[in-house]
């Protein structure tokens, strides 16, 4: 998580210690690259009526690029709450590192390892996908030139790169525009990867704390001394409250953006599948639409898996508490049991705009809805 925080500092999306936050820096970092890439795409979509597939590709690219800007703006709006959540979770990790139980230490080590590996894997995956998308045109151009000895027609990374200034007849001007576009695009993709890594890291922390609460409850009957058991119950209540409080922070920070994210995903996946079925002879278009599908499905799957894990971990606490010999404890201890059960009865989950819970079942319904829209659109096109 330290690397993620450092990258957020670099982009101005995280407060520096003992320094005033400067909101203008992240706003420029978000707005300028987005306008640079999305502006031509919108103009191309409005002007181009001859090719449905090219216009659809421009629309998909515009939606995905705008999506990144919206996620960054949402992060800025909830930055203070996310920073407070991160500080609380890190402090709790530090306190629990002094726990004498081996299973708790093993769970903490595993949690840190999972967060470290998952963030590295995700950022690597994100950048490979982004580089593949950005470099497909240059690589195909170089391959064609090496194979035939003739410079092929020059195209941009995005469909509308040269809609305002056509420099496709000058190799060096084309190369300059290409380099600027690639750097801008990769910086936007890195912002997206960092923000998602932060969200996933915080979710993993909260879920891990719920699992540790579950582990502590399972072994509480082994504590025969009433004073030691009472102290352990207090620790359990505090840790559960910490996990619930930070789960609520994440839910409040992400529920609206998740509604927009999943809604955009339905539209984008539907249009991407439609484009894939219509552009059978355009290799570059097929490659890029395939990359977009992989990118979208990966994000949907990760959020759904993390949402399911959060629900399972938080709801398992009540079952573990019922399995203890609470009926033999003192009144004050039973009062703590009541607090734990009352909290466990409230669903802890991420939602899509307060309408649906984010879990594997929701992902299946979204994919089913997307396929239904795709088949309807395909039938409408075939009928004409």
- For tokens 């090719």, the residue is 51
Query: What residue segments make up the domains of the chain, in order of their start?
Result: 1-379
Sequence-distant (≥ 6) Cβ neighbours of residue 248 within 8 angstroms = none
Grouping H, G, I as helix, E, B as strand and the rest as coil, residue 224 is coil
**Choice among 4-13, 17-26, 195-204, 259-268 with the minimum mean pLDDT:** 17-26
| Mean local confidence (pLDDT), 29-37 | 78
Assess contact for 188 and 33: CB atoms under 8 A.
yes
**Choice among 155-164, 216-225, 229-238, 296-305 with the minimum mean pLDDT:** 155-164
- The per-residue pLDDT for 178 is 81
Task: Encode pLDDT of 338-382 as tens digits.
Answer: 888 888 877 788 888 888 888 888 888 888 888 887 788 777 777
Q: How far apart are CA 266 and CA 306, in angstroms?
A: 20
Q: How far apart are CA 342 and CA 321, in angstroms?
A: 11
Task: Give the bridge partners for 5, in sequence order.
Answer: none
Angstrom CA distances, 224 to 230, 321, 325, stand at: 10, 17, 11
- The per-residue pLDDT for 167 is 67
Assess contact for 355 and 260: CB atoms under 8 A.
no
Quick check: 180 pLDDT over 60? Answer: yes
Angle at 349 (CA atoms; ends 345, 354), nearest 5 degrees: 105
- The per-residue pLDDT for 202 is 92
**Choice among 17-26, 209-218, 250-259, 344-353 with the minimum mean pLDDT:** 17-26
């Amino acid at each position: 998580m330290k690397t993620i925080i450092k990258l957020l500092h670099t982009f101005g999306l995280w407060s520096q210690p003992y320094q005033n936050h400067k909101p203008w820096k992240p706003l420029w970092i978000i707005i300028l690259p987005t306008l640079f890439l999305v502006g031509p795409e919108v103009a191309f979509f409005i002007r181009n009526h001859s090719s449905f597939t090219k216009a659809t590709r421009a629309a998909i690219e515009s939606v995905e690029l705008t999506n990144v800007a919206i996620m960054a703006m949402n992060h800025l709006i909830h930055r203070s709450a996310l920073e407070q959540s991160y500080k609380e979770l890190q402090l709790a990790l530090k306190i629990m590192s002094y726990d004498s139980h081996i299973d708790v230490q093993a769970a903490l080590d595993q949690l840190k390892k999972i967060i470290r590996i998952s963030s590295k894997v995700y950022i690597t995956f994100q950048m490979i996908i982004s580089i593949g998308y950005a470099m497909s045109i240059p690589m195909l151009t170089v391959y064609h030139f090496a194979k035939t000895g003739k410079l092929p027609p020059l195209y941009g990374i995005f469909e509308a790169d040269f809609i305002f200034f056509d420099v496709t007849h000058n190799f060096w001007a084309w190369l300059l525009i290409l380099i600027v576009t690639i750097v801008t695009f990769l910086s936007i993709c890195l912002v997206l990867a960092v923000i998602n890594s932060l969200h996933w890291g915080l979710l993993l922390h909260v879920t891990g704390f719920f699992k540790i609460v579950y582990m502590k409850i399972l072994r509480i009957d082994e504590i025969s001394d009433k004073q030691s058991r009472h102290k352990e119950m207090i620790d359990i209540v505090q840790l559960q409250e910490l996990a619930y409080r930070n789960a609520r922070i994440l839910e409040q920070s992400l529920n609206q953006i998740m509604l927009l994210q999943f809604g955009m995903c339905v539209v984008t996946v539907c249009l991407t599948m439609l484009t894939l079925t219509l552009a059978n002879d355009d290799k570059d278009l097929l490659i890029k639409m395939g990359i977009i599908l992989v990118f979208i499905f990966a994000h949907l799957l990760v959020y759904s898996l993390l949402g399911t894990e959060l629900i399972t971990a938080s709801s398992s606490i009540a079952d573990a508490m019922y399995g203890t010999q609470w009926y033999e404890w003192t009144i004050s201890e039973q009062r703590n049991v009541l607090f734990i059960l009352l909290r466990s009865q409230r669903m802890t989950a991420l939602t899509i705009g307060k309408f649906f819970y984010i879990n594997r079942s929701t992902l299946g319904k979204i994919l089913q809805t997307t396929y239904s829209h795709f088949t309807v659109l395909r039938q409408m096109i075939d009928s004409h």
